Amino acid sequence: MTDHPALLLHGPVVLDPETGTELGDALLVDPDGTVAAVGSRADVMETLPGTDPPPREVRATGYALPGLINMHVHLGLALPGAMSQGWDTEDDAQTVLVMADSAARTLRAGVTTARLVGESRYLDMTLRAAIRRGAVPGPRLFTAGHALCCTGGHGWEADALEADGADGFARATRLQLRAGADLVKVCISGGIAGEHEDIDTPQLTDAELAAVIDTAHAWGKQVTAHAGSSETVRAALALGLDGVEHGYSLDEETIAMMVERGTWYVPTISVSRCRDFFELHEVPQWMIDRALSAGPEHWATLQRAVAAGVRIVMGSDMPPYAPFEGTTATVREMELMQEAGMSAREVLRSATSRAAEWLGAPGLGRLLPGSPADLVLIEDDPSTDVSALRGLRAVVSGGRVVRDDHDELGAWGTT
């Protein structure tokens, strides 16, 4: 017998984006925060041994789906302009507080898992540990530590770790692994946020990139690359790169190579069409111009990738909770992916089970027995239109209620 009874969420239709099916209208959650059973109310009650106390039952309506996984997040994002004012970005204490605030907001936006692809001074490891301990609220974090770049390369102003030469990049990679990185992020071409570069500026030699990839792979970690152009991506794929971020301009040949190799793609399509967000944060005009000018080709690239069947996962790059076009950056990113040709189900997969596959975390992104009880509640069925996520009203993480706009989960209790 356990001290605390299990919880039974009864009423919402439980969706499984991986299979595109409805699992039932009852979800039994163990006191340890994992899903014990899912199905009809009678089905899940049958799984309880007679000696257990009856579950505490919570009634709700609408739809429940796995908590979202956002695969391109910077919790300490400080773009030039208003975002980095009033905050000494060199100061660890100030920075980790900004990151913790961002993590809490991310979780409340329904993002129960985030992949971090470039933070500062290993503060992401500190925060990851604090979230795991339950000391501060936040999503489950998978983090790259510092992004890596060449001297003066993309991201250097934002604390990407600069290295040069194959030995330098091997060491930079090992430093991230030593600190506890779950993956490695490397910037192999220019980007939007670098003043002295173009999006298609190649930045690493083959020997440098091979050092990163071979080192990470030897330690069982994947490598994803900030990459803008076809040439840089093709060279990197030949060296064994696992994932591409942004891919502002990828031609058919490059896309075909990604399909053949099973390369992952995180389009972050919002970043080349977010004028309002940039203007709100007063980022420099050159950055806005560069971002928006990449828009049409970035969009065409995403459409090519969708049509060809590239493995796409969702990442916003903007803060996941940032208000954007009437919703959050995360939900808007998903809407844009659907507008670019993905089915609603594929978009939902890209932000749940498919992302979990990249992370090597098979229980995540689904609500099956043994999965963490990470879920969001929404009013309408998102199966044909992901805009239904605009109606997100409650979030549960590891069996704990972290947001409950309508006070409907009150009986869930505070654990």
If the CB atoms of residues 242 and 317 are measured against Zn ion, the closer one turns out to be 317
Quote the tokens at residue 288. Answer: 């806005």
If the CB atoms of residues 72 and 128 are measured against Zn ion, the closer one turns out to be 72
If the CB atoms of residues 57 and 317 are measured against Zn ion, the closer one turns out to be 317
CB 240 to Zn ion: min, Å = 22
For the chain, the C-alpha Rg in angstroms (whole number) is: 21
If the CB atoms of residues 76 and 372 are measured against Zn ion, the closer one turns out to be 76
If the CB atoms of residues 2 and 286 are measured against Zn ion, the closer one turns out to be 286
If the CB atoms of residues 30 and 317 are measured against Zn ion, the closer one turns out to be 317
CB 72 to Zn ion: min, Å = 6
Backbone region of residue 413 per phi and psi (left: phi > 0; alpha: psi in -120 to 50; beta: other values):
left
Quote the tokens at residue 263. Answer: 């390369």
Strand partners, 203: none
Size of the residue set binding Zn ion (CB under 5 A): 1
Residue 70, CB-side half-sphere exposure with 13 Å CA sphere:
32
Task: Indicate the SS3 state at residue 162.
Answer: strand
Residues 290-309, interacting with Zn ion (CB under 5 A): none
Contact 28, 2 (CB under 8 A): no
If the CB atoms of residues 119 and 317 are measured against Zn ion, the closer one turns out to be 317
**197 lines the binding site for Zn ion (CB under 5 A):** no
CB 4 to Zn ion: min, Å = 40
Q: x/- contact string, 306-345, with Zn ion (CB under 5 A)?
A: -----------x----------------------------
Task: Give the residue at shortest CB distance from Zn ion.
Answer: 317
What's the distance, CA 270 to chain centroid? 14
Question: In angstroms, rounded to a whole number, what is the distance separating the alpha carbons of residues 217 and 174?
Answer: 11
Question: In angstroms, rounded to a whole number, what is the distance separating the alpha carbons of residues 201 and 186?
Answer: 14
**Buried residues in 172-209 as b, exposed as e (16+ CB within 10 A):** bbebbbeeebbbbbbbbbbbbbbeebebbbbbbeeebb
If the CB atoms of residues 317 and 335 are measured against Zn ion, the closer one turns out to be 317
Contact 37, 369 (CB under 8 A): yes
CB 213 to Zn ion: min, Å = 19
Residues 133-172, interacting with Zn ion (CB under 5 A): none
CB 74 to Zn ion: min, Å = 6
Question: In angstroms, rounded to a whole number, what is the distance separating the alpha carbons of residues 199 and 7?
Answer: 50
CB 31 to Zn ion: min, Å = 38
* Residue 342 Cα distances to 206, 245, 273, 327, angstroms: 33, 18, 18, 20
CB 157 to Zn ion: min, Å = 13
CA trace torsion 84, 89, 95, 99 (10° rounding): 40
CB 228 to Zn ion: min, Å = 12
Q: Which residues bind Zn ion (CB under 5 A)?
A: 317
